């Protein structure tokens, strides 16, 4: 049981991204008038490197808008996660054990905000209260710089690089320069009418060390009907559920 409690903590911090998405502020996608998909599904591999200590997980996922996500981890342990609003269900079929986490705020879905960000020209910087300082071209790359207009509400500086209107890199530095983050979007491929990155790399540098997260996506499919057992997932009757506030 203690092993699963530890693994639960690892999942919440590492998989769900509790505490932010690697930037000084979580980018705001609430004002997106229309998402680029109704449903999205595919396979993933996630590799974390924390100061040389590497762990990985892989599996499949199904998403309905920004309302519901079903994620099944097949490595390193069989695990099913269902994210809906402020609740996350984490289920271990082999042990018939489940945790239901309730948080004060909506749960951040793994890697979905980054995919949505790749479809927006400004990534949501305007929703953070930032203003465009300047833009410049370097070859075929458009580089834009975003800053806080109010020094008293300074949340740091952002730099974005785009090629052919596709975000390639976002760089962030905190106001005190004690934290920096870089996210790379690569391996863009056509998915229906969208160009989506299939490799997303986030690198964070702070006084606590360096963390690198690599997300590899395959078999992405857009707007296909999700299986009923995915959309309406029910636990078996003999499964023990432990409730937790987060």
Q: Are strands 39-50 and 53-64 parallel, antiparallel or unpaired?
A: antiparallel
- Work out the burial of residue 178: count CB atoms within 10 Å of its CB; fewer than 13 is exposed, 13-18 middle, 19 or more buried: exposed
The closest of 67, 47, 66 to 112, measured between CA atoms, is 66
Percent of the chain's residues with pLDDT above 90: 60
Quote the CA–CA distance of 116 and 154 in Å, as a whole number: 25
% helix / strand / coil in the chain, to the nearest 5? 15, 50, 35
Using DSSP's 3-state secondary structure scheme, residue 85 falls into coil
Quote the CA–CA distance of 19 and 26 in Å, as a whole number: 9
pTM of the model: 0.85
Quote the pLDDT of residue 66: 87
Domains and CATH numbers, the chain: 2-245 (2.50.20)
The H-assigned helical ranges of 62-156 are: 112-117
79 neighbors 96 (Cβ within 8 angstroms): no
Q: Quick one: how far is CA 225 from the chain centroid?
A: 23
Quote the pLDDT of residue 200: 95
Express each pLDDT in 115-158 by its tens digit: 888 887 666 687 777 899 999 999 999 999 999 888 888 888 99
């Amino acid at each position: 049981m203690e092993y699963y409690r530890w693994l639960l903590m690892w999942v919440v911090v590492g998989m769900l991204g509790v505490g932010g998405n690697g930037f000084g502020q979580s980018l705001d996608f609430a004002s997106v008038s229309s998402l680029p998909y109704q449903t999205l599904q595919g396979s993933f591999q996630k590799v974390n490197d924390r100061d040389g200590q590497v762990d990985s997980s892989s599996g499949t996922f199904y998403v309905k808008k920004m309302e519901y996500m079903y994620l099944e981890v097949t490595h390193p342990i069989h695990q099913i996660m269902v994210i809906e609003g402020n609740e996350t269900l984490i289920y271990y079929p082999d042990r018939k054990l489940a945790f239901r986490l309730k948080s004060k705020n909506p749960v951040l879905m793994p890697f979905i905000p980054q995919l949505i960000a790749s479809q927006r020209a400004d990534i949501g910087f305007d929703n953070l209260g930032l203003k465009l300082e300047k833009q410049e071209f370097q070859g075929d790359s458009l580089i834009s710089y975003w800053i806080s207009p109010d020094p008293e509400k300074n949340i740091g500086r952002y730099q974005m690089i785009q090629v052919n209107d596709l975000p390639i890199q976002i760089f962030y530095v905190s106001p005190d320069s004690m934290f920096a983050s870089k996210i790379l979007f690569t391996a863009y491929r056509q998915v229906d009418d969208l160009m989506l990155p299939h490799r997303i790399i986030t690198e964070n540098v702070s006084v606590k060390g360096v963390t690198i997260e690599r997300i590899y996506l395959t078999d992405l499919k857009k707007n296909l009907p999700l299986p009923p057992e995915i959309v309406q997932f029910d636990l078996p009757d003999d499964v023990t559920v432990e409730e937790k506030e987060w």
